[in-house]
């Protein structure tokens, strides 16, 4: 495989932008995952680029499930892929089509190739093929099928495509430019296995032709498959789509992204508390750019996206950058939207469902607004907001909180609690509470920070929270009084001072 010049086309490698290409009609693209596992971030980016390309051109985005690998394909994986696509907001216009339901179509095309002499049956067993491969490696020869069944006329076995023996196939890739493949480096590849199921290269070509796909946008690990597919298109008499092979996504160590780098599936990042808007925004920038802009609305992505701006070099997956993007959306998305996203995370953090159901939307939004600047993920936001729902365990006060409580005389806590108990509902706002605390501190010659930190410790069990008076307003008078009284009780039980 080498980069070709425009003059390097042969009888089986004419320019894909010629009149024999489908690219002149309405754009039709597809995402075709194999349901053997969850949707990987690399697959999600491929889906996103196809979706954006279709939306930019007013075209059609098709979802096709390539499930002919019956041993590895599962309904659970199919459902997980569809759910991840919906979560990312990439609804499809057609499909999902399933290859397992299109076997008659593949059989018809296989017969056509067989009847025209462009395919033949091969009876070589997998064991025989492996022995020949090992022998070829030992002799330093090219490891490929030797064509021994080419002219034997078998009436059964696996079906192989009869590759043109001479020539070069040039793939005019929209990202990498022209890439040529010498036929001497290829072999007569299997298109239908002996069990009757089509192989990837054959089924993909038949489906793409039947679905009138105009542009095949996929990872560049498929680039080596493309000359075989081009030859199948020509043998079947179908016009060629345009091809665009996206560079791979690598881990921080510049090796192919895998589980050793941490989470790699879209569903895992969803469970970790990342927002779909952040995931989409991050994925679109993994290989594509529009100037120096980092944050895009969905509408901007559609407006600006083009294959010309997709880079040729692999993209590096940076979890810290993804986290940064996620914090941006946590800070800027509408609080009502974040509340809806937060509900399952609050439930997972142990907040009773009845409490969430009983809480007013406005109150939940106030909780989110108080903490959204302090969280990196929805999981973290659920964790740090738990004290709004549950009274802190007096045995669970952290060390700093205990010191803050002990730093204020018990009598002061008791007087402060009595003062708060006498406040009217109209006085239980952040501004009124602050004024009350300032007057109280001044009258007793205390530092405001001292009594505020003790109150924060009693209310939250920690010494880190949003502004105290905002927290008090959100908690409300009843919870504030109950928690202060709990802190006083803890002090009394510890024998600090007698009650006053």
Provide the mean pLDDT of the chain: 91
CATH number of 394-493: 1.10.10.350
Query: Average pLDDT in the 410-424 region?
Result: 94
pLDDT digits (tens, 9 = 90+) for 7-41: 332 222 322 333 355 656 799 999 999 999 999 99
Evaluate whether 2-250 and 394-493 have a shared fold: no
Q: Report how far residue 218's alpha carbon sits from residue 43's, in angstroms, rounded to the nearest whole number.
A: 9
At 1 the pLDDT is: 57
CA dihedral 240, 242, 247, 248 (to 10 degrees): -50
At 9 the pLDDT is: 28
Assign a CATH topology to domain 259-329: 1.10.1160
Please report, for residues 104, 156, 298, the alpha-carbon distance to residue 492 in angstroms, rounded to integers and kept in the order given. Answer: 81, 90, 57
Span of 152-156, 225-229, 388-392 with lowest mean pLDDT: 152-156
Query: Average pLDDT in the 382-409 region?
Result: 91
**Does the pLDDT of residue 479 top 50, yes or no?**
yes
At 398 the pLDDT is: 86
Residues of the chain above pLDDT 70, percent: 94
Q: Report how far residue 130's alpha carbon sits from residue 139's, in angstroms, rounded to the nearest whole number.
A: 14
pLDDT digits (tens, 9 = 90+) for 261-298: 877 899 999 999 999 999 999 999 999 999 999 999 99
Q: Report how far residue 219's alpha carbon sits from residue 223's, in angstroms, rounded to the nearest whole number.
A: 8
pLDDT digits (tens, 9 = 90+) for 431-447: 999 999 999 999 999 99
pLDDT digits (tens, 9 = 90+) for 70-123: 788 899 999 999 999 999 999 999 999 999 999 999 999 999 999 999 999 999
At 118 the pLDDT is: 96
Q: Is the separation of the CB atoms in 60 and 93 below 8 Å?
A: yes
Query: Average pLDDT in the 357-369 region?
Result: 96
**Does the pLDDT of residue 69 top 90, yes or no?**
no
At 21 the pLDDT is: 58
| Catalytic residue list | 259
CATH number of 2-250: 3.40.50.620
At 441 the pLDDT is: 95
For domain 333-388, the CATH class is mainly alpha
User: Which residues, in sequence order, are CB contacts of 245 under 8 Å at separation 6+?
Assistant: 173, 175, 176, 218, 219, 220, 222, 223, 226
* Local confidence band at 5 (pLDDT 50, 70, 90 cut-offs): very low
At 24 the pLDDT is: 62
At 147 the pLDDT is: 85
Q: Report how far residue 188's alpha carbon sits from residue 249's, in angstroms, rounded to the nearest whole number.
A: 31
Q: Report how far residue 234's alpha carbon sits from residue 486's, in angstroms, rounded to the nearest whole number.
A: 80
How far separated are the first and last CA of the chain, in Å rounded? 88
User: Which residues, in sequence order, are CB contacts of 354 under 8 Å at separation 6+?
Assistant: none
Span of 131-140, 337-346, 350-359 with lowest mean pLDDT: 131-140
Span of 136-150, 238-252, 299-313 with lowest mean pLDDT: 136-150
At 142 the pLDDT is: 78
Q: How many CB atoms lie within 10 A of CB 195?
A: 7
**Closest to 411 in 3D by CA, of 499, 482, 290:** 499
Query: Average pLDDT in the 218-230 region?
Result: 95
β-pairing verdict for 28-31 and 2-3: unpaired
Q: Going edge to edge, which strands form the sheet with 158-161?
A: 119-122, 158-161, 190-192
**Does the pLDDT of residue 190 top 90, yes or no?**
yes
Q: How many CB atoms lie within 10 A of CB 15?
A: 14
β-pairing verdict for 190-192 and 2-3: unpaired
Determine the Cα angle at 262 with ends 256 and 265, to 5°. 80
Domain extents in the chain: 2-250, 259-329, 333-388, 394-493
At 432 the pLDDT is: 96
At 101 the pLDDT is: 93
Q: How many CB atoms lie within 10 A of CB 396?
A: 9
């Amino acid at each position: 495989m080498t980069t070709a010049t425009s003059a390097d086309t042969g009888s089986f490698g004419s320019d894909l932008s010629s009149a024999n290409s489908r690219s002149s009609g309405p754009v039709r693209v597809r995402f075709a995952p194999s349901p053997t596992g969850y949707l990987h971030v690399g697959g999600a980016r491929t889906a996103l680029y196809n979706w954006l390309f279709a939306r930019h051109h007013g075209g059609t985005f098709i979802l096709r499930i390539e499930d002919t690998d019956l041993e590895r394909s599962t309904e659970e994986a199919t459902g997980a892929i569809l759910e991840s696509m919906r979560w990312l907001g990439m609804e499809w216009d057609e499909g999902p089509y399933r290859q397992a339901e299109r076997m008659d179509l593949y059989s018809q095309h296989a017969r056509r190739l067989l009847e025209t002499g462009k395919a033949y049956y091969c009876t070589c067993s997998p064991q025989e093929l492996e022995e020949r491969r090992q022998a070829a490696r030992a002799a330093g020869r090219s490891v490929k099928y030797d064509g021994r069944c080419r002219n034997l006329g078998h009436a059964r076995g696996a079906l192989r495509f009869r590759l043109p023996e001479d020539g070069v196939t040039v793939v005019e890739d929209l990202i990498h430019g022209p890439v040529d493949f010498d036929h001497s480096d290829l072999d007569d590849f299997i298109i239908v296995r002996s069990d009757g199921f089509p192989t990837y290269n054959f089924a993909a070509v038949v489906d793409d032709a039947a679905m009138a796909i105009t542009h095949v946008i996929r990872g560049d690990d498929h680039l080596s498959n493309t000359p075989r597919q081009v030859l199948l298109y020509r043998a079947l008499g179908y016009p060629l789509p345009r091809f665009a092979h996206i560079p791979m996504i690598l881990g921080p160590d510049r090796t192919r992204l895998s589980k050793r780098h941490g989470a790699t599936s879209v569903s895992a990042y969803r469970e970790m508390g990342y927002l779909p808007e952040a995931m989409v925004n991050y994925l679109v920038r993994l290989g594509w750019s529009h100037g120096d802009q980092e944050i895009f609305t969905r509408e901007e992505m559609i407006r600006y996206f083009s294959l010309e701006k997709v880079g040729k070099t692999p993209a590096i997956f940076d979890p810290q950058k993804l986290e940064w993007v996620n914090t941006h959306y946590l800070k800027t998305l509408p609080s009502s939207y974040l509340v809806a996203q937060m509900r399952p995370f609050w439930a997972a953090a142990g907040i009773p469902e009845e409490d969430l159901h009983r809480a007013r939307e406005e109150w939940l939004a106030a909780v989110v607004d108080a903490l959204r600047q302090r969280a990196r993920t929805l999981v973290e936001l659920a964790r740090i907001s738990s004290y709004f729902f549950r009274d802190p365990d007096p045995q669970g006060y952290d060390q700093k909180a205990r010191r803050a409580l002990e730093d204020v005389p018990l009598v002061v806590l008791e007087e402060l609690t009595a003062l708060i108990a006498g406040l009217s509902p109209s006085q239980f706002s952040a501004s009124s509470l602050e004024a009350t605390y300032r007057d109280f501190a001044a009258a007793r010659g205390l530092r405001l920070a001292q009594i505020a930190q003790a109150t924060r410790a009693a209310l939250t069990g920690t010494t880190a929270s949003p502004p105290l008076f905002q927290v008090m307003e959100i908690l409300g008078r009843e919870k504030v009084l109950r928690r202060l009284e709990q802190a006083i009780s803890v002090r009394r039980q510890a024998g600090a001072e007698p009650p006053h």
